[in-house]
Structure 1
Amino acid sequence: MPLALFDLDNTLADRERAFRLFAAQLLEQHGLPPEHLPWLIQADGDGFVPRPQFLEAARQHLGLAVMLDELIRWYDATYPTCYVREPDSIKALRTLKQAGWLLAVVTNGRTSIQSEKVRRTGLDAVVDVVCISEDVGVRKPDPAIFYEAARRCGAPLTGWMVGDSASADVGGGAGVGLRTAWLHRQRTWDPAAEPPDLVVDRVADVAAHLLDSSA
């Protein structure tokens, strides 16, 4: 059976939308106006800024009367609830699954947070395996996490890696011999980097390509 590995945030799930909702709730929780939203989005760094660092910066910038530990606990409880079911992703994955593909989510992050995102988006009912970096002990692009996902699927590590990160998803996937699909999110690929096999706008585009190529 062919194997397809998928990133989670901003690939199968709309992290941008979820973070905007979280940031709006944070401001409302502390009685602050929505004018602070652009600063929070920039400070978040698309999720790549470590959470304690981001939350401490937000605490200081916004003048929040709360200790960092308490703010982190509130973040952990609130942020995953901002993720919602992703009908387009689920439809694309179900189409692949019906065609005989093995499907895995391979994501960096904490197990408790990422597992809740997968549950709330409804992806847990579609994919065969969820492979989270905290659980595995290594993060993408480390080859070990891709091999572990394939092992859990009971399949050799051949097939595709799909994601929005040039380094973690495309670079990591290519590094273990997978073909790669990059969700561009209105970005341009760095011409100095080894290009992905496929550049797409949506997961549905990937599914259509995989079905056509395996027909």
Structure 2
Amino acid sequence: MVKAVIFDLDGTLLDRDESVKIFISAQYERLNKWLAHIPEEEYIQRFIELDHHGYVWKDKVYKQLISEFDIEGITYHELLEDYLDFFKQYCVPFPNLLETIEKLKQNSFLIGMITNGKGQFQMDNVKALDIDPYLDTLLISDWEGVKKPDPIIFRRAAERLKVSPEDCVFVGDHPEKDVKAAQEAGMKGIWKRNQQWSGIEADDVIGDLAELPEIILQLNSISSNGIK
């Protein structure tokens, strides 16, 4: 019986690719004094390539940008600080985010989140999406000292929700770090479909967050009087 729904953040609730595009364009304008010699589209595209959907930390990204584009007068530390200070202003949620979480809460499901990343940075992004009031637990790898796909962080989330892993569904976009890792921890793993992977072995697949309540209804095999 599903009692808790636990989400990944980037690529699942936060449309990170779109957020990055908007942020890096704004950064280019904000720091144009030092970046003007680089064509804007070239700067944006190269950042996106080096960022690799968020799996490369930004100190390495900015070091590489400075080297490739001969950026002078501003350090990679300052570029990174700009990223840490301003990214939260450009967070774009996936469609139906709040509506889906509200529906789950209305039907008495516990809501959790497990996300890899820097503590305060990820917390700022969670708050930017206005979802923090709905969360019954939030685990950020930086603050937990363990990160996905380690099963410890999944089991820890279940413990904090006071449910067994078997009563949890985990929803994420990464086939290994989210879906498979959650399954190995004893949870059901639902894959949030994207263009990076295909042929994923999951307990179910969604393309839109709005599909989730119905899937949980099916998993629980409850009557139509359940989630509405």
> TM-score, normalized by length of structure 2?
0.86
Q: In the alignment, is the contact (CA less than 8 A) between 1:88 and 1:204 conserved in 2? A: yes
The correspondence of residues 9-28 of structure 1 with structure 2, limited to 5 A, is: 9-28=10-29
Q: State the match for 1:117 in structure 2.
A: 125
Shift of 1:93: 1.0
Q: What's the secondary structure of 1:5's corresponding residue?
A: strand
Shift of 1:102: 0.8
Letter in 1 for 2:202: P
Secondary structure of the structure 2 residue equivalent to 1:122: coil
Equivalent runs, 1:38-57 vs 2, <5 Å: 38-57=45-64
Total equivalences in the alignment:
212
Match of 2:154 among 122, 146, 149: 146
C-alpha separation in 1, matches of 2:78 and 2:28? 15
Report the counterpart of residue 40 of structure 2 in structure 1: 34
Decide which of 212, 216, 219 is 1:206's aligned counterpart. Answer: 212
Q: 1:137: which partner in 2?
A: 145
Farther off after superposition, 164-173 or 149-158: 149-158
Deviation of residue 25 (structure 1)? 1.6
C-alpha distance in 1, partners of 2:91/2:180?
A: 27
Whether the 8 Å contact between 1:30 and 1:64 is mirrored in structure 2 is: no
- Alpha carbons 2:103, 2:213 under 8 Å: kept: yes
| SS state at 1:81 partner | helix
Deviations 1:111-146 (A, max 9, x none): 100100010101102221111101111110101111
For structure 1, list consecutive stretches of 5 or more residues without a partner in the other structure. Answer: none
Q: 1:177 Cα shift?
A: 1.4
Question: Distance between the aligned counterparts of 1:149 and 1:204, measured in 2?
Answer: 23
Aligned equivalent of 1:162: 171
Residue 9 of structure 1: how far off its partner (Å): 0.6
1:78 aligns with 86
How many Å separate the matches in 1 of 2:93 and 2:50? 26
State the identity as a percent: 27
| RMSD, matched Cα | 1.8
- AA matched with 2:136: D
* 8 Å CA contact 2:95, 2:208 repeated in 1: no
Amino acid at match of 2:65: A
Question: Could you tell me the TM-score, scaled by structure 1's length?
Answer: 0.91
Q: Is contact 1:4–1:160 with CA below 8 Å preserved after alignment?
A: yes
- 2:68 corresponds in structure 1 to 61
Shift in Å, 1:59: 2.1
